Amino acid sequence: MENFGFYSPTYFAFGKGMESSAGDLVKRFGGSKVLIHYGGGSAVRSGLIGRVEASLKAAGISFVSLGGVKPNPRSGLVREGIALCRKEGVDFILAVGGGSTIDSSKAIAAGVLYDGDFWDFYEGGVAIEKALPVGTVLTIPAAGSEGSGDSVVTNEETMHKRGTGSDALRPRFSIMNPELVFTLPAYQSACGATDIMAHVFERYFTNTKEVEITDRLCEAVLLTMIRETPRVIADSHNYDAQANVMWAGMVAHNNLCGVGREQDWASHNIEHELSALYDCAHGAGLAVIFPAWMKYVYKHDVNRFANLAVRVWGCQMDEQNPEKTALAGIAALEKFLKSIGMPLSFAEIGAKKEDIPLLVKTLGVSDENPLGGFVKLNAKDVTAIYNLAADR
């Protein structure tokens, strides 16, 4: 295990009706004027925004609102939010929504206190040293942004989808009420589950030795998702199943499962180009890319893939031919993804094989700038992975 520092300051208010505590929590963490940032009209129509506003009013907290966050959040709305916060003297951002809303909120929080363009944080190599405090009311378990210091935004001018991270972006608090996800369509729940599992895979596939504790934590989250995702899809009002998925999503990405070990993150970066160009759901893109990545790199550490197959997918270890077990595990993942309604090919998400050179170019990967930690990938490697996904 490698040396590490782990800082996870977020306070979690988990359970039924917890959104009514938003005002008290904002006050507890120093906010006096709030930007309520949210996505589409469902948060308003469901009454959630109204309940949050009532809670803020009861706590004596003033607020302004900015809706309109789209999946794969856009730079234009971030800039609008930064301008609004500066104009109104906002000192706290409250994200009401899923990962896209939270990521957009984090970008605004960092941009308000920065003299340059916030996009410098995402593609200019500038570190985020300070940001307005952020709180969240989670409505979609998927991205894990409610417990992490990460944010991903798409630049509308270039259609580059890029991420950044800083402990300054970790939410001060996150409200997690599983009842708020009862109305999610099955497809959206499946996309979220795929994203959660992908966050675990990015950490599980490592070259670091002797990391049994985090291996087992990763496997526990994956086993939970394999059990609970079909239950959520079958009955979106199953509170216990939704609660387990919601907490798994946070655990998968606050880095508890990733400390002390080298991580990969190639598949996420490869997928970002798909969701930027085709505007597909991030989880759907990951369902297409991750099995293709696995098939391309599994020989780098056959035993790690074989162990995953045995411990998580229940495959029988073939001691004479562990490669056979490793491939059985990849096949089991594909079968599971298909069973929950996820795509597995370019065609299913509207991607085109002829766009692969553009995808690789936009990604900016090269021999000098390889991708990934488990296996270093150059442009030729990434092209091969895209082709595996396209040729299914």
Write the pLDDT tens digit of every residue in 36-77. Answer: 999 988 889 999 999 999 999 999 999 999 999 999 899 999
Q: Answer for the pair 284, 273: CB distance below 8 angstroms, yes or no.
A: no
Q: In 3D, which of 142, 79, 130, 139 has the Cα closest to residue 108?
A: 79
Q: Which residues contact 181 (CB under 8 A, 6 or more apart)?
A: 139, 140, 141, 189, 236, 242, 246
Cα separation, 225 vs 144, whole angstroms: 14
Q: Answer for the pair 164, 158: CB distance below 8 angstroms, yes or no.
A: no
Cα separation, 380 vs 329, whole angstroms: 26
Cα separation, 196 vs 282, whole angstroms: 11
* Phi-psi domain of 227 (left: phi exceeds 0; alpha: psi -120 through 50; beta: other): alpha
Residue 33 in tokens: 């004027």
Cα separation, 166 vs 233, whole angstroms: 34
Q: Answer for the pair 229, 189: CB distance below 8 angstroms, yes or no.
A: yes
Per-domain boundaries in the chain: 11-180, 186-390
User: Same topology for domains 11-180 and 186-390, yes or no?
Assistant: no
Q: Answer for the pair 243, 178: CB distance below 8 angstroms, yes or no.
A: yes
> Vertex 344, ends 321 and 232: CA angle to 5°?
100
Q: How far is CA 164 from the centre of its chain?
A: 12
Q: Answer for the pair 169, 128: CB distance below 8 angstroms, yes or no.
A: yes
User: 286-324: b or e for each residue (b if 16 or more CB lie within 10 Å)?
Assistant: bbbbbbbbbbbbbeebbebbbbbbbbbbebebeeeebee
Beta bridge partners of 66: 37
The whole-number mean pLDDT for each consecutive block of 10 residues of the chain, a chain of 392 residues, reads 96 98 98 96 91 98 96 95 98 97 98 97 93 98 96 93 95 98 96 98 98 98 98 98 98 98 98 95 97 98 98 97 98 98 97 97 95 98 98 92
Complete DSSP assignment for 109-155: HHHHT-SS-TTHHHHS---------EEEEE-S-SS-TTTSSEEEEEE
Render pLDDT for 186-243 as a digit per residue (tens, 0 to 9): 999 999 999 999 999 999 999 999 999 999 999 999 999 999 999 999 999 999 999 9
Side chain identity at residue 360, one-letter code:
V
Question: Domain 11-180's class?
Answer: alpha beta
At residue 236, the pLDDT reads 97
Angle between helix axes 266-278 and 356-363 (nearest 10 degrees) is 120
Cα separation, 39 vs 71, whole angstroms: 9
Helix (H/G/I), strand (E/B), else coil: 59:
coil
Taking the chain, what is the end-to-end CA distance rounded to the nearest angstrom?
37
Domain 186-390 CATH assignment equals 3.20.20.70: no
Q: Answer for the pair 144, 252: CB distance below 8 angstroms, yes or no.
A: yes
Greatest Cα pair distance, the chain, in angstroms, is 68
